[in-house]
Structure 1
Amino acid sequence: MISKQNKGPKSLIAHRLLTWLRLSNQPLVKVYRGYGNDKVLSINGHVLRRSALPRTNYRDNKLINLLAVMRLFLVKPYPNTRVRLSCAGQTAEVFADENGFFQCDLPLPAPLSPGWHPVRAELLSQTLPTETVLGTGEGKVLIPAPTTFACISDIDDTFLVSHSATIAKRLLVLLTENAHSRDPFDGVVAHYQLLAQADSGPATNPFFYVSSSEWNLYDYILEFSEQNGLPDGVYLLSKLKQFHQLLQTGKTKHHTKFDRIKRILETYPDMRFILLGDDSQQDPVIYSSVVQQFCHQISCVYIRRIKPANRAATEALIGQIEAAGVPCCYFTHSEEAHQHSIRAGLVAS
């Protein structure tokens, strides 16, 4: 630890500010939940120079909530760094990109058992004469069990009330609420739990949560999901943003979301999927494209009705999805989706 007498006034102020904001300047490897099949594991994460310490207090105080979200966007990537990843006895090294993001396809010599498997990551020095570990991180990767189907779900305004169609409302909720005070839609958790448990035997049908929300909000979303009892799953979010981009939260090029979904479907070519989203942004367009390319893998599409102005365009896209032979439910209340799942034979009554 650096003693105070060795710090200049500016360094002391910066140190105190970081401490007050619960930010750390220790290098960190953030490993997100990954997924794999019998041949390869897909692992991704960020290397950070500055990171937010985990939130432990969820008092419903708007100022504290504001500061807590702001610090998630005060993170600082550690670009172009070397990371060693280890899982199930296999090791690989990758380089983070200019945004500190890394993605690794780790080959498997033999299939792993279904379930979650731990991942360890090490940030390796590239300048010191001997190999030095500058920071570490831990995560886990999912090998799905053979089940009836899997689910790919959006997050904002699909199960988490977010007001994504109106940026002012979205920011107000995001900046003044916290992961414990935010609300899911009525009935959505029960519907998702039924989908997870439907005809899956001792295992559960896997969930993949694919969103345009930034990686900055990963822990926030994970805490919300666990707090509300949503099915455990893999979270695939969007490009990390910096503080000056905070007002642009949720605004991401949506083709990257299609690419993430495509990658999941290609990883499990023999698995069937249910897609869940909403009409506030681009889910109907994306899901229609997914159905056109992967019709044989899609069992059903669910779209929550959020934005009245998008209804006509969404109904036209739903017509394309149904014309391809894939059932679709365009609903306002989760109970409608639940009843549709019963009629479609996806869940028990």
Structure 2
Amino acid sequence: MSLRRHYGKYVRSLRKGLHILAAPVKGDNGRGGLFIQAYRGFGSNNRLFLMGRVFRQPGFGASLREDMLRRDIIDLIRRLWRKPIVGAQVRVRYKDADTIVRTDRHGFFRVHMDLSTMPSDVIWHSMELSLVHPADDRATTTGEFFTPTSRARYGVISDIDDTVVYTGVANTTKMMWRLFAQGAESRVVFPGVSALYQALYNGDTGSQGNPLFYVSRAPWSIYQVLVEFFRMHRIPNGPILILREWGMKRGSVLPRRAKDHKLDAIRQILALYDDLPFILIGDSGQRDPEVYTRVLREHPGRITGIYIRDVSNDPRREAAIAELAREVKEAGSDLMLASDTVAMAEHAVDQGLIPMDALEEVRRSHDDEEAE
């Protein structure tokens, strides 16, 4: 590839990455002021959960709408200078349900809403969010939340770092470089992941629409990058739960230890979908096997299987996981230390979770991506 083509590729990648990083502040069209950012939520027939944040951001450069590059640079600067609003009151409306929530000391708000009108049998739903205090009629946005259809037979909760992607998702600069500058040449996603997760989403019948939840130790600042990353790599959409701020409570100085955040998130999901069994997917490098085994103890009969990607290359770690696997087996489930994505898919076929043709697609995808 010529130097000019290399240069053109990196310029295009830089511009695309810049546009995505600047995206969270674009809803005000450069006017500045108060702004609500809503993250993808999830719900059931009678309850929903959604997180978001309220900011005050500077307003300048509104006249640059025709100059996309300069507009993105200005919006990125505005994003870096925005400040969270403490104690803001946000009104949330979905059909005939209405509630007001308050932001914490970091500007985050959490919506736990009871629903009197059952969501229709579709996957994604829209809701309206507006600012009550400080009052600003312009500070409105549309949020979305996921509900499983009546065809769903199980759910999936998956870690992201070292499970879906190689180490580095918590590093914004590294992720941006891999995703946009290196593109398909970068080893970002583990081979076969997209095919496996699509198969789990479709289920054994091919049309179940099983819910997928993704948890990450990355900061919320990388949320938009993760959303684009999933789209580019054709990984099924699902709520992305950022664990770093998950355990914060109003008035606390520091969040609780990170290992508690994943437990909190999983417990909340299992409580909301109390009629669904779940598959838990993680890696051997952190505490996923221990956390998932604890979840199984707390929720007997709810965990169909635990898939752990082997990334530690440590005989002592493998022995510890093998001991946990025996405990899980005695409880009537399986904990599998998988060498690759194909091994997970093979077990899923044996358990009747995905069809045989989906396994063949995972194998083809794995081999093709491994050879790149």
Give TM-score scaled by structure 2 length: 0.72
Cα distance per residue 1:172-206 (max 9 Å; x no partner): 73364336736210011111111111135644111
Deviation per CA, 1:225-250, whole angstroms, max 9, x where unpaired? 11111112111112459xxxxxxxxx
Amino acid at match of 1:273: F
Say which SS state the counterpart of residue 27 (structure 1) adopts: strand
Residue 128 of structure 2 aligns with an amino acid whose one-letter code is R
Structure 1 residue 346 and structure 2 residue 353: aligned? yes
For structure 2, the 5+ residue unaligned runs are: 1-18, 59-74, 247-255, 357-372
Structure 1 residues 200 and 96: alpha-carbon distance in aligned structure 2, compared to 1, 3 A threshold: farther
- SS of 1:308 mapped into structure 2: coil
C-alpha contact 2:203 2:210 (8 A) present in aligned 1: yes
Show the counterpart of 1:282: 287
Residue aligning to 1:173? 174
Aligned to 1:174, the other structure's residue is in SS state: helix
Tell me the amino acid that sits aligned with residue 270 of structure 1. D
CA RMSD of aligned residues (A): 3.1
**What is the number of equivalent residue pairs in this alignment?**
299
1:37 paired with 2:44, answer yes
Task: Note if 1:264 corresponds to 2:269.
Answer: yes
Q: Which residue does the alignment assign to 1:306? A: 311
Flag the 1:275–1:346 CA change in 2: closer, same or farther, 3 A. same
- Give the partner amino acid of 1:287: Y
Alpha-carbon spacing, 1:84–1:278, altered in 2? closer, same or farther (3 Å): same
Offset, 1:75:
5.4
Cα drift, residue 79 of structure 1: 1.8
Show the counterpart of 2:137: 133
Going from structure 1 to structure 2, the CA distance change for 1:77 and 1:320 (only over 3 Å counts) comes to farther
Where is the helix percentage greater, Structure 1 or Structure 2? 2
Question: Are positions 1:293 and 2:301 aligned together?
Answer: no
Report the AA paired with residue 48 of structure 1.
F
Which residue type is aligned with residue 31 of structure 1? Answer: A
TM-score (norm 1): 0.77
User: What's the CA shift string for 1:260-296, capped at 9, x where partnerless?
Assistant: 1100000011101111111121211211111111121
Structure 1 residues not aligned, in runs of 5+: 1-18, 52-67, 242-250
Quote the Cα distance in structure 2 between the aligned partners of 1:252 and 1:175.
27
The residue type paired with residue 303 of structure 1 is: I
User: What are the equivalent positions in structure 2 for 1:130-209 lying under 5 Å apart?
Assistant: 131-133=135-137, 135-146=139-150, 147-163=152-168, 173-174=174-175, 176-178=177-179, 181=183, 183-200=188-205, 202-209=207-214
AA at the equivalent of 1:140: E
Are 1:327 and 2:328 matched, yes or no? no
Give the secondary structure class of the aligned counterpart of 1:177: helix
CA contact (8 A) 1:158 1:278 kept: yes
